[in-house]
A and B are shown apart, each in its own frame.
Chain A
């Protein structure tokens, strides 16, 4: 494959979008850097988003590329991929994974966009394809400030969700730990979604279109469940059975 077909560049509202072809990651990365070296002035100061296709990238690979780009005066701000691995890595590194933000509220359940990149307001999640309501994402760690998890199904966190961390799920969110950050369950309009945590004191909570903040809690934390009841978000102690 020639270099020119590996790298495709176009201008978008937020800077440059570079689409990378299918080849081994070292090959693609080298091709990209060579392309940049060829026109350093064109790229200098650019805000770059990368569409890496189905490449599964780990954080060493993405950080290395980000650092190499930043050495050339280029800011990498987004990585779009159909691989959940890459997407997760990008989110952990604080990179955007969607090029257009959906409207912040009143996201309604919308048909999935036909184009590969979600358009404004369609608000589909990149991993949405082929995921039904019964699928859950298992997150085996504490989510710290700056982490954002987006998933079309349910999300289960084995750890805390700290202030400044965000979870946006199409389904329910279960946290085996303290919830102090932001959670949006049923983000695509599913009003039956619930949020539960061992210690529920979120910065802000949303289920479908409803928004709530946690009242000041007194006393010992206990496991609680939040669900939509009569159009209001209500928390109640979790009692199995």
Chain B
């Protein structure tokens, strides 16, 4: 097996990197693929909470790198999806505990055992970011349809270009179709116009994301929530499938009826 390393990053904080990693990982693992997520945010770990695995942490990534445990021992298996693993970050250390070459070594070891390695990068463009992108085969940039997040995404894309990484793909998270329609939010086209990289996913704003994060059951595990569906589609696109983007426009019953009636 030769696994693919995917790093999810954004520049700006709070745009939904960790949520994206958890949901895409769940979607890939539901498809029978062997997936391991690595939390790259040493000192501010979150991925374990969102995946609901917080209370099962014994060893973390720094323990692997400093040789206190074997890689296997730090991989927490998700009981709901036996093909899904998490390597948590250390909470009591900082980014300098890991170096880019450590990450490359760890991922090379994991590549032999799993199909997908998903790295949750911390916000920013400093050490933690560099650690996370060093081993990446593919980078996904998460942004929100707002100016500051798009600017930061642009900066990160520039840094990846300078490091001669393959061109990243874009996830536009938390899109509110009604606000876009009113002209109060950047549209997908506006974002694309500035960044000019492939869009691999458009995820609508959805309250159930927060509920799911608090419960520790990523949305893409089940259910009909549109955001969960959008994340599952991203996973399918990563697998090389051609999946059309969700229709986020027709949200109200009336919209849908008029659409059905062909009046629009």
**A interface list, Cβ under 8 A from B:** 59-60, 63, 67, 70-71, 73, 89, 92-94, 141-147, 160, 162-165, 180
Contact = CB atoms under 8 A, between A and B. Distances in A.
A144 B161 contact: yes
Contacts of A71: 99-101
Given A145-B151, A164-B151, A164-B154, A67 B164 contact: no
B131 to A, nearest CB: 9
Of A92, A162, A163, A165, the most chain B CB neighbours within 10 A belong to A162
Contacts, number: 56
Contacts of B100: 67, 71
Given A59-B164, A60-B164, A67-B130, A144 B99 contact: no
Contacts of A73: 96
Interface residues of B, number: 21
A93 B125 CA distance: 11
Interface string B188-212: 0000001010000000000000000
B161 A146 contact: no
A37 to B, nearest CB: 15
Contacts of A141: 161
B196 A146 contact: no
Interface of B: 96, 99-101, 125, 127, 130, 134, 151-152, 154-155, 157-159, 161-164, 194, 196
A73 B97 CA distance: 11
12 contacts: A70-B99, A70-B130, A71-B99, A71-B101, A142-B196, A144-B155, A145-B152, A160-B196, A162-B154, A163-B151, A164-B151, A165-B158
Q: Main SS of chain B's interface residues?
A: helix
A147 B157 CA distance: 11
A-B pairs, 9 with minimum CB distance: A144-B158, A92-B162, A145-B155, A145-B154, A71-B99, A146-B155, A144-B154, A67-B100, A93-B162
A200 to B, nearest CB: 15
A143 B151 CA distance: 12
B1 to A, nearest CB: 28
A67 B100 CA distance: 7
Of A70, A89, A145, A147, the most chain B CB neighbours within 10 A belong to A145
Contacts of B161: 92, 141, 144
Nearest to B99: A71
Contacts of A143: 158
Given A59-B164, A67-B101, A71-B101, A146 B158 contact: yes
A142 B194 CA distance: 10
Nearest to B126: A70
Contact of B194 (A70, A89, A146, A162): A162
Nearest to A94: B159
B155 A164 contact: yes
Contacts of A146: 155, 158-159
B162 A163 contact: no
A170 to B, nearest CB: 24
Contact of A147 (B96, B99, B158, B164): B158
A143 B99 CA distance: 29
B153 to A, nearest CB: 9
Nearest to B131: A67
B167 to A, nearest CB: 11
